[in-house]
């Protein structure tokens, strides 16, 4: 595949399109319609918003695998916005405005270990 085709992702009901898989790094397209919560102990993310938007949140506390309201930083994002998310940091979207899709460039911070 390799090319971002939102119609194909929609038809396949797929939230992730893997473009490059390199073991300690990968590049993919993520596309979601619902809020999400993520945590990676050793993986750094860089997000470039390609479609839609929502409220990205980082550094929040978790309780029962859900973000605790009033914790962390919330930021409205839209097409063209770029986010850097360090490893060992809660992150995700607390709100999605219909849909949000982003180019997700990821690498492990323990690559040399």
pLDDT value of residue 113: 64
Query: Exposed, middle or buried: residue 74 (CB in 10 Å: 0-12, 13-18, 19+)?
Result: middle
The full set of domains in the chain, from first to last, is: 6-107 (2.60.120.10)
Angle at 14 between CA 8 and CA 20, to 5 degrees: 85
Q: Is 11 helix (H, G, I), strand (E, B) or coil?
A: helix
pLDDT value of residue 12: 78
The model's pTM is: 0.85
pLDDT value of residue 1: 40
Residue 100 pLDDT exceeds 80: yes
pLDDT digits (tens, 9 = 90+) for 39-76: 999 999 999 999 999 999 999 988 887 888 888 999 99
């Amino acid at each position: 595949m390799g090319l971002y085709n939102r119609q194909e992702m929609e038809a396949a009901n797929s939230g992730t399109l893997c473009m490059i898989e390199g073991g300690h790094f990968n590049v993919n397209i993520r596309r979601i319609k619902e809020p999400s919560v993520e945590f990676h102990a050793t993986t750094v993310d860089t997000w470039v918003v390609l479609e839609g938007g929502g409220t990205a949140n980082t550094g929040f506390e978790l309780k029962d695998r859900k973000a605790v309201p009033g914790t962390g930083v919330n930021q409205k994002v839209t097409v063209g916005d770029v986010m850097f998310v360090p490893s060992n940091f809660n992150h995700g979207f607390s709100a999605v405005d219909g849909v949000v899709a982003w180019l997700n460039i990821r690498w492990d911070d323990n690559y040399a270990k």
